[in-house]
């Protein structure tokens, strides 16, 4: 027996040792034993797929005080520290060895230096605490998509959240045998005061791509700690690029067409840009709201949701706009609320919930009252703008029946959307796969939101809405996307959407529910059942079709002036954007495929020619049917 096994035997009680030993995987023993040696936990709990193990984690979350009960049965809440409320981009880095080429857009640190640093923060970080060892399966079980992953954490909140978000995977590890092919995630909250991580200056999320291992410490916020989410997405993007499939920041949903037809869509939107609310549009079915794996199987693109739950932004969730999730959040069910306001009656409140603001309560800033200010004199809202809820998808009334299908669903359309106040039309279809990947996916920009730390509202380049998670050079990533379906007979259609377009007076031109109409239009396009107008940048809807769809699905009028304002081509803005994107690829993206420049330049020339004849603003009625 090597020292790893000896240490495990010494540190784990009999029951927990037996659970680990049953997996008979030396690489797993190494990972767990190394982590125990480093973090020095007081005890270790190994979780199998058994209900009682899962229930134990849930109970510990309450006993440890990381979660507290709310009035409704099954509801709990958790707070992250005041300065630990979003993904920390600046301190999330790839550990690179001399042989790795990641390109300048990826944040990296030398492997030796980075490991030394993060190990120093993790050293003895779990003294007197319990370490949870949790096994999960990314994607459905027993599937070509499945990736086993093991999470070690000293946070029962993290372990509990993952339980709602991922399929348990102890049995997947049993099937894995002694293979080292699994993801490894190690997290510690670091030093705590009043239940929150205090050393946020030492918050680090370091990713070792060569060993499929992620280290996260001195943080509690889910986006930094729930290793199966964005941290595993980074590992998966690299794995996918080596194996010829795609790991994407995408929702998966079913959109109903005429006669009960269901067409499956995947959709990439940067964080806090309408992805979850699209996936939950009333009347359609949801498979997932955040991360999808896509593979070509039998000549068709198929997709699965990597997760089985939602870690959703709660801000603006209200009975009117989001009836499906509202129902779940206001009835007994297993729900974790984070960074909301909790009143004396143990009722959670959040920004934009449509209810009267309560007189006070506690939130991420401790005791709260309306008008409370932080040290800098800024008013503290009743809940954080990035406050979240965590639930099982099974709780949703519109869950699609294919969530757990090992082969996923066939993808009819891929939608790319960003937060864009002044450039793109609400919905537009690309000419073909390559044009779509390049002008919609690879050209995506978005104005920043509260899901990451830093200034909000700054326009950022975000190819496929994945820029925070791309773990290979951006050029190679785009190339992989192009190649993925280029040669298939049945390619998904590619669309761009923009829910955030504003008019001249600065107000939004659409309301949230309008996206239902865009979805219905796209569904009809996939089946060739509705016409379109051909612009130099893609196909846009005809007025009469939208008028009909607005009436049929939303029961409202759609005035011609609204159509013209929303679908006019804003050529000055569109051309400026194209120049920005070309410049980014030319100057800072090595390995950019030549076809990207060819497609962008051809489109730019078409738009310039149009601008010469028609000026900066062109009405949709000026375009021919195409
Ligand atoms: C998320 C994110 O939580 O992208 O999904 O930040
Ligand atoms: Mn996301």
User: Which band of pLDDT confidence, cut at 50, 70 and 90, is reported for residue 271?
Assistant: confident
Q: How far apart are CA 200 and CA 224, in angstroms?
A: 12
Ligand 1 atom with least separation from CA of 451: 6
pLDDT digits 0-9 by tens, 373-392: 999 899 999 999 999 999 99
* Residue 446 confidence (pLDDT) above 80: yes
Average pLDDT over residues 464-482: 95
DSSP 502: B
Residue percentage of the chain with pLDDT more than 70: 100
Ligand 1 atom with least separation from CA of 223: 3
pLDDT at 229: 97
Q: Which ligand is nearest to the CA of 165?
A: 1
Q: Where are the beta strands (DSSP E) in 431-547?
A: 445-447, 459-461, 493-497, 533-535, 538-540
| Distance, CA of 357 to chain centre | 30
pLDDT at 457: 75
pLDDT at 210: 93
pLDDT digits 0-9 by tens, 161-194: 999 999 999 999 999 999 999 999 999 999 999 9
pLDDT at 454: 75
CB atoms within 10 A of CB 243: 9
pLDDT at 391: 98
The rounded mean pLDDT for the chain is 96
Average pLDDT over residues 299-328: 95
The answer to whether 145 and 293 have CB atoms below 8 angstroms apart is yes
pTM of the shown model: 0.96
User: Which band of pLDDT confidence, cut at 50, 70 and 90, is reported for residue 1?
Assistant: low
What is the chain's length?
626
Tokens matching residue 496: 């761009």
CA–centroid distance, 271 to ligand 2, in Å, is: 5
CA–centroid distance, 223 to ligand 1, in Å, is: 6
Q: How far apart are CA 219 and CA 208, in angstroms?
A: 18
Note if 137 is an active site residue: no
User: Which band of pLDDT confidence, cut at 50, 70 and 90, is reported for residue 557?
Assistant: very high
pLDDT digits 0-9 by tens, 43-77: 999 999 999 999 999 999 999 999 999 999 999 99
Q: Which residues form ligand 1's pocket by a CB distance below 6 Å?
A: 87, 223, 271, 290, 311, 451
CA–centroid distance, 553 to ligand 2, in Å, is: 28
* Residue 451 confidence (pLDDT) above 90: no
Average pLDDT over residues 483-489: 94
Ligand 1, pocket-test mutation among 89, 205, 274, 290, most atoms within 8 A of CB: 290
- Say which residues have a Cβ less than 8 Å from residue 340's Cβ, sequence separation at least 6: 77, 314, 348, 349, 350, 363, 383, 387
pLDDT digits 0-9 by tens, 498-509: 999 999 899 999
CA–centroid distance, 357 to ligand 1, in Å, is: 27
* Residue 285 confidence (pLDDT) above 70: yes
* Residue 105 confidence (pLDDT) above 80: no
In this structure, the residue with its CA closest to atom 2 of ligand 1 is 271
* Residue 104 confidence (pLDDT) above 80: no
Alpha-helical runs (H) found in 322-449: 323-329, 433-436
To the nearest 5 percent, what fractions of the chain are helix, strand and coil? 35, 25, 40
Please, what's the largest Cα pairwise distance for the chain?
80
Give the least confident one: 22-26, 55-59, 452-456, 470-474: 452-456
* Residue 334 confidence (pLDDT) above 70: yes
In this structure, the residue with its CA closest to atom 3 of ligand 1 is 223
Nearest to 540 by CA among 428, 435, 432, 436: 428
């Amino acid at each position: 027996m090597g020292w790893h096994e000896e240490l495990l035997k010494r540190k784990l009680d009999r029951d927990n040792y037996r659970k680990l030993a049953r997996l008979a995987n030396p690489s797993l023993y190494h990972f767990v034993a190394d982590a125990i040696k480093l973090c020095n936990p007081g005890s270790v709990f190994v979780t199998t797929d058994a209900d009682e193990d899962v229930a134990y984690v849930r109970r510990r979350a309450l006993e440890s005080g990381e979660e507290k009960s709310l009035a409704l049965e099954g509801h709990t809440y958790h707070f992250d520290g005041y300065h630990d409320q979003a993904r920390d981009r600046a301190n999330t880095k790839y550990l690179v060895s001399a042989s790795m080429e990641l390109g300048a857009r990826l944040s990296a640190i030398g492997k030796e230096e980075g490991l030394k640093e993060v190990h120093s923060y993790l050293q003895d970080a779990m003294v007197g605490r319990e370490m949870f060892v949790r096994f999960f399966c990314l994607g459905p079980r027993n599937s070509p998509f499945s990736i086993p992953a093991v999470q070690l954490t000293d946070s029962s909140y993290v372990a509990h959240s993952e339980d709602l978000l991922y399929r348990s995977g102890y049995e997947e590890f049993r099937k894995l045998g002694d293979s080292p092919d699994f993801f490894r995630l190690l997290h510690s909250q670091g030093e705590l005061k009043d239940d929150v991580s205090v050393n946020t200056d030492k918050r680090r999320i370091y990713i070792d791509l060569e060993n499929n291992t992620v280290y996260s410490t001195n943080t509690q916020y889910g986006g930094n700690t729930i290793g199966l989410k964005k941290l595993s997405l980074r590992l998966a993007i690299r794995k996918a690029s080596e194996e010829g499939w795609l790991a994407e920041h995408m929702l998966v949903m079913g959109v109903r067409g005429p006669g009960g037809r269901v067409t499956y869509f995947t959709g990439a939107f940067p964080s806090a840009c309408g992805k979850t609310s699209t996936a939950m549009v009333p009347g359609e079915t949801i498979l997932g709201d955040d991360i999808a794996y896509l593979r070509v199987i039998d000549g068709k693109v198929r997709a699965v949701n990597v997760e089985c739950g939602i870690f959703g932004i709660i801000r603006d969730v209200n009975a009117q706009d989001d009836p499906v999730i509202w129902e779940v959040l206001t009835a007994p069910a297993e729900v974790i609320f984070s960074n909301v306001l909790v009143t004396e009656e143990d009722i959670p409140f959040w920004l934009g919930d449509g209810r009267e603001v309560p007189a006070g309560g506690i939130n991420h800033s401790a005791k709260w009252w309306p008008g409370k200010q932080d040290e800098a004199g800024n008013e503290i809202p009743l809940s954080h703008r990035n406050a979240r809820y965590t639930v099982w998808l099974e709780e949703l009334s519109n869950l699609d029946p294919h969530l757990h299908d090992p082969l996923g669903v066939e993808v009819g359309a891929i939608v790319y959307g960003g937060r864009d106040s002044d450039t793109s039309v609400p919905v537009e279809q690309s000419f073909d796969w390559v044009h779509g990947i390049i002008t919609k996916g690879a050209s995506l920009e978005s104005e920043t939101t509260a899901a990451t730390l830093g200034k909000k509202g700054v326009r950022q380049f975000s190819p496929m809405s994945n820029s925070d998670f791309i773990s290979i050079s951006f050029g190679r990533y785009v190339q992989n996307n192009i190649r993925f379906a280029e040669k298939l007979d049945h390619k998904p259609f590619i669309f761009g959407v923009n829910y955030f377009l504003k008019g001249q007076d600065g107000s939004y031109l659409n309301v949230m529910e309008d996206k239902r109409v865009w979805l219905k239009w796209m569904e009809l396009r996939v089946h060739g059942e509705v016409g379109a107008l051909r612009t130099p940048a893609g196909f846009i809807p005809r007025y009469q079709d939208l008028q009909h769809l607005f009436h049929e699905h939303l029961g409202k009028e759609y005035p011609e002036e609204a159509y013209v304002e929303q679908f006019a081509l804003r050529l000055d803005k569109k051309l400026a954007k194209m120049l920005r994107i070309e410049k980014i690829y030319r100057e800072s993206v090595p390995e950019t495929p030549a076809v990207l420049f060819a497609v962008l330049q051809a489109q730019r020339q078409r738009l310039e020619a149009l601008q010469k004849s028609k000026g900066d603003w062109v009405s949709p009625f000026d375009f021919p049917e195409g």
